[in-house]
Amino acid sequence: MKSMPDHAEMEKAFRGRDGSYDGLFYVGVRTTGVFCRPVCPARKPLPENVEFFPTPKEALFAGYRPCKRCEPLKAGGELPAWAAGLLDRVESDPSVRIKEADLREAGIEPAKARRFFLNKFGMTFQAYCRARRLGRAFDEIRNGKRLDDVILGHGYESHSGFRDAFLNRFGKPPGKMRGEDFIRIAWMETPLGPMAAGASAKKVCFLEFTDRRMLEAQFEALSRRFRLPIVPGENEIVERLRSELDRYFSGALKRFTVPLEYPGTEFQARVWKALLGIPYGKTRSYEDVARAIDNPGAVRAVGHANGLNRIAILIPCHRVVNKSGELGGYGGGLWRKRRLLDLERGEAFR
C-alpha cells in the first residue's frame, strides 16, 4: 500500500483545495458517504467527519462512492475517453451488468479494460462493478428490502447467481444476513498513520495499521476465525474505540475500556492476557512475559504469539522489548513502537 503525507499535511491540503496533492490521497466524507479529491469544490465537512485513503480502492472498500463533483477516479490526470465513459456508465446505475460482449460492442477490448483498471485503481473493471453492485445490494437487504426485489434490481439473472456472488463477498447467504451480526471494518486516522479497526456488535476484534502487508488476507482470516462476514461500516463499538484512541494519542487516556475479543490457542490467549497486564508507560522483556504465564522456557513461543496479536495498541505488544532493553521487533514498524513508548513516557506528539 502506498504511503500518504501525514494527517496534518493532508488536512491542510484538503482545506486549502491544494491541487498539488491530486492523486496522492483521497478523502472519505462520513456524513455523505462519498470520497473526494483534495481539490473538491464542495463545502468542507468538519474534521471529525473525514478520513483519508491512499488509493480509490481503499475508499471503495471502506464503503464510499465516488464524488460526482470532483470525480476522484480521474485524479492524477484525465482518463481516456473510453475509461471515463465506462465509469460514468457504472455510476449512473451500478446495478447494470456490463459484460465483455457489451465492451466489445462499444469498441473496447475486455483485456484492455482489465489492464487499465487494474493499473489505475488496483482492481479490474469487473471487480469494480461487483464492488459497487454488491455494496448497494447488501445495504438494501440489511434495510429489510425483499430478496426478490434486490435480485431483480441489481441485474442478477437468478437467485443462485446472486447467492453465489453474495456468499463469495460477505461469507453468508443473503437470506441469513437480516438481524445477524457481522464484523464492521472502519478506517481510523491516527498520528502514526491510518489504522483499520474491526468490531462485532459487542467487541473489538481487530486493529492494525493499514500499511501492514497482506491486510486483505488478514480480513479473510478474521472472517473465517469468527465465522462472520466482513463489511465496511461502523457501530457503537467502533465509535467508542475511535474516541478512546483519540484520547490515548492525546495523552489523556492510559487504560482502554472498550471490550475485546481475541480468539486463539490456549497458549496465545495466556500471552495476550499477560500483555494486557503490562502497565501503561512500562515495558517487559519476552522472558518476563514467559515467567508471567508460568512457562519460563517458552521465550521464543512468547515472541511468536506476540507477533500474532491482531489488536495493536489495545493489547500492548509494543511494550515488550528485548532482555537487553533494545526494542526488538514490531509488525507496525520499529519507528511506531518507539513513538508509542515515547508517548506513554510523557512525550506528546507534535
Q: List active site positions.
A: 317
Q: Where are the alpha helices (DSSP H) in the chain?
A: 7-15, 56-61, 81-92, 100-105, 110-121, 125-142, 147-153, 159-170, 215-226, 236-249, 266-276, 286-292, 299-307, 334-344
Q: Are 208 and 222 in contact (CB under 8 A)?
A: no
Cβ within 8 Å of residue 25, ≥6 positions away: 4, 5, 10, 13, 38, 52, 53, 54
Of 206, 203, 196, 259, nearest to 235 (Cα)? 203
Q: Are 224 and 310 in contact (CB under 8 A)?
A: no
Residue 99: how many other CB atoms lie within 10 Å? 11
Residue 60 to residues 114, 202, 214, 320, Cα–Cα distance (Å): 17, 25, 18, 36
In the chain the first and final C-alpha atoms are separated, in Å, by: 25
DSSP state of 280: T
